[in-house]
Chain A
């Protein structure tokens, strides 16, 4: 069902199951993520791909009455161990959501906020510049850093949210459909950005856009759900393989749009 990773994984998911109350959303997921690779999680609505994503930075436990079983190893250490601080995990594993959600503050403050509460002692202006340059937003906003971030376009807001994530120096960036609310030009900028960012970060992206998964990712994981089973991992491997000759007929049916 799964490929053996070719190098040491930065994240390894072992026997992961997840329940919202009585409802089991994920069933026994096993997979891993390699440093500086982009992995796309694909699958129909309700298959658990976003749940997997949120499990990786312990976001699910913010929802009441949920239960996580199994392990998520980050550099070999289970992030669900009692001695792990979830806030520290969320600093090292950043997340960007579908809808851009900048703070209703200045562009400058959006970047420095997280860094400040994390005790960053460096030059804040420099941090703002580096973060905005890494998301290719600097040239567009350098003269209006005091402007409210909500006045930016949707695509700019999303790149600002990514910049805000970078400012706390994470190792991993999770993206939950980061371009689904954006027009094609902004989408293309986000995709270019993902390509740039993988030089420094490990990226896991949930997307409903098959072509986007094909364009941006090195690995692709396909999740499924049906009446008999909770969300489960059907197949994962190199994106090339998944989109050119997948092993499982369910993967083929889904990616070629012949699902159901």
Chain B
């Protein structure tokens, strides 16, 4: 019998739970941007309702991790991985919130405004979904190098964010009648940019879980 079989099973379950939340979050992001580009209110509603499930799973994961700490009294790497899991679940939950925020803008913006912003939003969402996915792979594989590479992608998100910000400022200057929509899009731009920051935090967690070192990626 392998030592600490019960704790090993618990940690495996924790990983599965994280991946389940991660796949729901990736899905929510994808759907929210598709809904935005196709004005699909039904799909947007699915994202908003789905976020409740993400929140619930995150709370369940925290309860589960707390139970494992209480009953198994893990130390060292095991303990760091447990703490890391709850932190990563928290970051994923915030990304899920951003997907919900995006979904709430579906059918609220006039077409000419959307035409300006949509290409950047789609690019950012593709980068963002890729980052979420790869950071979770780094977590499961305990791959510090991969975590560092994923975090570097955040620079691309920041570039896109800055470019869209400038476009939106120009839009609002030239068309004061669209200021309210421009502000909505500034927020949306900000949500996507924050997504990159959340993934960066997840990558920092992966490194901490593996090494016990607190690192600041993408200062």
Residues of A within 8 A of B (CB): 210-211, 214, 243-246, 252, 255-260
In the complex formed, the residue of B with least CB distance to A252 is B76
Of the listed stretches B53-61, B77-85, B152-160, name the one at the interface; the rest are far from the partner chain. Answer: B77-85
The answer to whether A255 touches B4 (Cβ under 8 A) is no
Q: CB-CB < 8 A to B76: which residues of A?
A: 243-246, 252, 255-256
Contacts A244-B80, A244-B212, A245-B211: A259 and B75 contacting too (C-beta < 8 A)? no
Q: Which of A255, A257, A259, A260 has the most CB of B within 10 A?
A: A257
- 16 more contacts with CB within 8 A, not counting A256-B74, A256-B75, are A211-B73, A243-B75, A244-B76, A244-B79, A244-B212, A245-B76, A245-B211, A245-B212, A246-B76, A252-B76, A255-B75, A256-B78, A257-B3, A257-B7, A259-B3, A260-B3
25 CB < 8 A contacts A-B: A210-B73, A210-B75, A211-B73, A214-B75, A243-B76, A244-B75, A244-B76, A244-B79, A244-B80, A244-B212, A245-B76, A245-B80, A245-B211, A245-B212, A246-B76, A252-B76, A255-B75, A256-B4, A256-B74, A256-B78, A257-B4, A257-B7, A258-B3, A258-B4, A260-B3
Residues of A within 8 A of B77 (CB): 245, 252, 256
Shortest Cβ distance from residue B139 to the other chain A in the assembled complex, whole angstroms: 18
Task: Enumerate chain B residues within 8 angstroms of A256, measured Cβ to Cβ.
Answer: 4, 74-78
B191 to chain A, nearest CB (A): 35
Chain B residues within an 8 Å CB radius of A252: 76-77
CA distance in complex: A255, B4 (Å) = 11
Distance A138 CA – B55 CA, assembled complex (angstroms): 54
B72 and chain A: residue at smallest CB distance? A257
State how many angstroms separate the Cβ of B134 from the closest Cβ of chain A: 25
Q: Give chain A nearest CB distance to B210 CB in angstroms.
A: 10
A214 contact set on B, CB distance < 8 A: 75
The CA-CA distance from A214 to B77 in the complex, in Å, is 15
A78 to B63 alpha-carbon distance, docked (Å): 54
Residues of A contacting B74 in the complex (Cβ-Cβ under 8 angstroms): 256
A255 vs B76: C-alpha distance when bound (angstroms) = 8
Task: Report B209 CB to chain A, min CB distance, Å.
Answer: 11
**What residues of A have a CB within 8 angstroms of the CB of B4 in the complex?**
256-258
Would you give the 0/1 interface string for B1-42, flagging 1 where the beta carbon is closer than 8 Å to chain A?
Answer: 001100100000000000000000000000000000000000
Using Cβ atoms and an 8 Å threshold, which residues of chain A touch B3? 257-260
A-B interface, 4 closest residue pairs, ranked by CB to CB distance from nearest: A245-B212, A258-B3, A243-B75, A257-B4
Contacts of A211 in B (CB 8 A): 73
Report Cα–Cα, A257/B7, bound state, in Å.
10
Given the complex, which residues of B lie within 8 Å of A259, measured CB to CB? 3
B181 to chain A, nearest CB (A): 50
Residues of A within 8 A of B73 (CB): 210-211
A47 to chain B, nearest CB (A): 17
Q: Which of B185-211 contact A (CB under 8 A)?
A: 211
Roughly how many angstroms separate A255 CA and B77 CA in the complex, as a whole number?
10
Residues of B within 8 A of A244 (CB): 75-76, 79-80, 212
The interface residues of chain B lying within 8 Å CB-to-CB of A210 are 73, 75
Closest-CB distance, A214 to chain B (whole angstroms): 7
* Residues in chain A near residue B7, CB distance under 8 A: 257
Closest to B2 in A: A258
Closest Cβ–Cβ distance, residue A188 to chain B (whole Å): 16
Chain A hits for B212, CB < 8 A: 244-245
Kindly state the separation between the CA atoms of A104 and B202 in the bound complex, as whole angstroms: 62
* Alpha-carbon distance between A244 and B81 when the two chains are bound, in angstroms: 11
Of all chain A residues, which has the CB nearest B74? A256
CA distance A258 to B79 in the complex (A): 14
Q: State the CA gap A255–B78 with chains docked (Å).
A: 10
Question: Closest CB-CB distance, B123 to chain A, in whole Å?
Answer: 39
A244 to B3, CA, bound (A): 19
